[in-house]
Amino acid sequence: MAQDKETELTRVPSGIEGLDTILRGGFFEGGLYIVQGEPGSGKTILANQICAHHVNKGGKAIYATLLSESHARLMQQLRTMSFFDESAVPERLVFLSALSALEDRGLSGLLDLLRREMMGRRATTMVLDGFLAAEASASTERDFKKFVHELQGHAIAAGCTVFLLTNGSDRPSRPERTMVDGIFVLQRQNFDARSERSLEILKFRASSYLEGRHSFTITGDGLVVYPRIESRFAWPSRYDEAPFSRVTSGIGSLDQKMGEGVPATSTTVAFGPPGIGKTTLGLHWFSAEPDVPSLFFGFFESPERLLRKADALGLPTRSLLQAGKHHVIWQPATEHDFDALGARLLDAVHRTGARRLVVDGLGGFMASVISPQRISKYFAALSNELRVRGVTTLYTSESREFLGAPVELPIANISSLIENLIVLRFVELQSSVRRLISVVKMRDSDFDPALREFKISDQGLTVLDPVFGAEGLMTGFAHER
């Protein structure tokens, strides 16, 4: 009995990395799965992408259609997808019309055709597109349940994984939903002027999976699925060794305020109004250690504009990029998917081996979020994952007001997500606007909380002496004592 419990079912990867992550490895051989979604939700592309991957790995697949688009039309569309290999048709990938069998002999005729093709061609993956037409042909609910039951038996006997595509209904009492091994729902929802595609698993037998809705996009490469960051990294991917050492911020005078630098693998936020010098601080951070792989993940300035700014500050950023250990990734602050951004960032960290990271700025992430209630958990998971990967991170974050507003951080409970907080502010003093910097928080570390003026010149950012002889500095409108 114990040996039986240890026996594992054979996984069948979909070939879609994000989906296989959600499924913790893929579907199961011989399983029967419903893929449900309204027209245009992406069911056909998903199913063909799974077939193409399966065929590419040496398997054989059948794509059977009922009341759906013609094969000629389907082939026209598939030729635009990079995953589709037309040379696999018809030896390894067969497109089969099953409508005549259903119309002539009902469900029994359809079942005979699917069984005969499955066994005769030794198919290991099968898609039935238009499953709703099969249900409509059933005389009774019992007949339809019998059809699903017998199709499942043939799939298990042949070791063939079967996908049933349907527009379907969310009514949980539908008979087929209690019998199949998994139910996958594809949706497309509008949010003001934006729309988002999502995938949700309602049922998946014999395995745990990442629950909730996960976003996806459709590209020329097919579906690209992005598991929710806070679900995928609910626990970090590795043990947190929590080493303690100091690394430089890239600004010696700022390091002195922070006890000779920031703790390694910690997360820091630099918060301040537009034009205060957050990106300048980020460039110092990015350029601080020539031999340490570093990543600048920005939204607001293209790489060349960023390099021109670094040149004007006297920073060696351009030569560091040429040396190959430092990398800049830019995405315009337009329209992005929240989870795609997180996946892109973590992929870039992995690809470059980055140990220092600048995210300039948090506003680029915030503009992409559709569900604000996700924000704090999302960044908690992202920050935890970066820490265990040995990355020392600086986020820049922009305040809304230019002068005189109270400090209001953009994320609720941000103090629980970050170790260090640096606040930069403009202040009016003696008929001029000056820049101030203050270290407000450093977890488990001593620091100098004094308000200090700083300047930006062709020598970069320099922190000056504490400001004495004035009051009301943090209000933005100071006055002499």
Q: Is 173 exposed, middle or buried (0-12, 13-18, 19+ CB in 10 A)?
A: exposed
What pLDDT does residue 2 have?
43
pLDDT at 323: 97
Q: What is the pLDDT of residue 359?
A: 97
Task: State pLDDT tens for residues 118-162.
Answer: 999 999 999 999 999 999 999 998 999 999 999 999 999 999 999
Query: Residue 259 has what pLDDT?
Result: 87
Maximal CA-CA distance, the chain: 96
d(CA 393, CA 270): 11
Rg (CA), the chain: 29
pLDDT tens-digit series, residues 46-62: 999 999 999 999 999 99
Bridge partners of 32, per DSSP, are: 162
Q: Which domains does the chain have, with CATH numbers?
A: 9-227 (3.40.50.300), 246-421 (3.40.50.300)
- What is residue 333's predicted lDDT score, i.e. its pLDDT? 86
**Residue 5 binned pLDDT confidence (cut-offs 50, 70, 90):** very low
Backbone angles phi, psi at 345, to 5 degrees: -65, -50
Residue 3 has pLDDT above 50, yes or no: no
Position 477 confidence tier, pLDDT thresholds 50, 70, 90: low
pLDDT score at 6: 41
- pLDDT averaged over every residue in the chain: 91
- pLDDT, one tens digit per residue, over 275-284 is 999 999 999 9
446-452 own/partner pairs: CB under 8 Å, 24+ apart: 446/259, 447/257, 447/258, 447/259, 448/256, 448/257, 448/258, 450/257, 452/257
Q: Note the pLDDT of residue 481.
A: 54
Helix axes 43-56, 71-78, angle to 10 degrees: 70
Check: CB of residue 231 under 8 Å from CB of residue 374. no
* Nearest C-alpha neighbor of 370 from the set 382, 358, 378, 360: 378
- Helix (H/G/I), strand (E/B), else coil: 20: helix
Mean pLDDT of 151-179: 84
194-204 and 213-219: which strand pairing?
antiparallel
**Three-class SS state of 29:** coil
pLDDT of 30 above 90: yes
